[in-house]
């Protein structure tokens, strides 16, 4: 046991309130800044689980360096590349905190991010996910684009909450702070637009809250080129099937089919638009 491990009054290791999972592969170029932003949090009762997907760059050396300096970090190197989904699932399975957050190796958090999101959970016991407004930053040029994330009122009917998120999508919600017991109810699957499905699942199964401050910065490398996880090009078929199942189960036949066909139209329209830009 590390000398810095916090013990409960009974003399057993105390579980942290928050678990942060960082799945990473070849993230050496920017991971120091990502780690620094997490370790600088004003809320300190967290563990940081890093799962290295058999990186071939300096990621391992950097992570071991940080783990040696901070007992909250647990570094695991996978013997072979397990794929992105398995690595995301691994850090979630390793977590012990009441709350959980995925952290990318090229993203940044405001020092008060965890503190402010925990406050929202304390004020809203039914919350399943808390996020914030965000910024997208080109890590090569430093250019930033700020965005406001739409927020549904908990009093809104489920169909309106779903439509609000459908028309104001924010896949980055996956990097919010989750109540781990609720997140574990979602079946993690590998298909295109799974992160979009997850945001819709929350609207129909739980409550999400948005802190009206920019607490999260997503790192990019210039213009993003859409790619498929399992196909040559983005394939929405499995996403649409899961959406259909979700909508019919939660909204019934009439509202469910209306939302499904609207979703089908929008996703097909967006994919056609993306193809024209490439």
- pTM for the full predicted model: 0.92
- pLDDT band of residue 167 (cuts 50, 70, 90) is very high
Dihedral sign of CA atoms 28, 29, 33, 34 in order: negative
d(Cα 16, Cα 176) in Å, to the nearest integer?
18
pLDDT for residue 199:
97
pLDDT for residue 224:
61
Kindly state the percentage of the chain with pLDDT values over 90: 85
Domains observed in the chain? 12-106 (3.90.550.10)
- pLDDT band of residue 209 (cuts 50, 70, 90) is very high
Contacts of 236 (CB under 8 A, 6+ apart): 192, 193, 267, 268, 271
- pLDDT band of residue 225 (cuts 50, 70, 90) is low
pLDDT for residue 6:
46
For 66-103, the pLDDT digits (tens) are 999 999 999 999 999 999 999 999 999 999 999 999 99
Three-state SS annotation for the chain: CCCCCCECCCCCECCCCEEEEEEECCCCCCHHHHHHHHHCCCCCCEEEEEEECCCCCCHHHHHHHHHHHCCCEEEEECCCCCCHHHHHHHHHHHCCCCEEEECCCCCEECCCHHHHHHHHHHHCCCEEEEEEEEEEEECCCCCEEEECCCCCCCCCCHHHHHHHHHHCCCHHHHHCEEEHHHHCCCCCCCCCCHHHHHHHHHHHHCEEEEEEEEEEEEEECCCCCCCCCCCCCCCCHHHHHHHHHHHHHHHHHHHHHHHHHHHHHHHHHHHHHHHHHC
């Amino acid at each position: 046991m590390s000398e810095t491990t916090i013990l409960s009054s009974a003399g057993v290791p105390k579980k942290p309130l928050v678990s942060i999972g960082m799945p990473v592969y070849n993230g050496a170029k920017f991971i120091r800044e990502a780690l620094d932003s997490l370790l600088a949090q004003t809320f300190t009762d967290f563990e940081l689980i890093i799962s290295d997907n058999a990186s071939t760059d300096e990621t391992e050396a950097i992570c071991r360096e940080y783990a040696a300096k901070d007992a909250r970090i647990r570094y695991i190197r996978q013997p072979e590349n397990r794929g992105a989904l398995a690595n995301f699932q691994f850090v979630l399975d390793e977590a012990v905190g009441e709350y959980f957050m995925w952290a990318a190796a090229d993203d940044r958090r405001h020092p008060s991010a965890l503190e402010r999101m925990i406050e929202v959970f304390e004020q809203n016991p039914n919350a399943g996910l808390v996020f914030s407004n965000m910024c997208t930053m080109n890590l090569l040029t430093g250019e930033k684009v700020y965005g406001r994330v739409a927020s549904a009122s908990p009093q809104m009917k489920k169909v309106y909450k779903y439509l609000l998120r459908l028309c104001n999508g924010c896949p980055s919600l996956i990097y919010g702070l989750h109540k781990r017991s609720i997140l574990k109810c979602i079946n993690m699957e590998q298909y295109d637009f799974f992160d979009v499905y997850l945001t819709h699942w929350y609207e129909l199964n739980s409550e999400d809250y948005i802190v009206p401050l920019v607490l999260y910065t997503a790192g990019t490398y210039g213009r993003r080129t859409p790619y498929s996880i399992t196909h040559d090009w983005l394939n929405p078929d499995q996403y649409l099937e899961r959406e259909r199942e979700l909508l019919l189960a939660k909204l019934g036949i009439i509202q469910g089919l209306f939302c499904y066909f609207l979703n089908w139209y929008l996703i097909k329209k967006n994919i056609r638009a993306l193809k024209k830009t490439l």
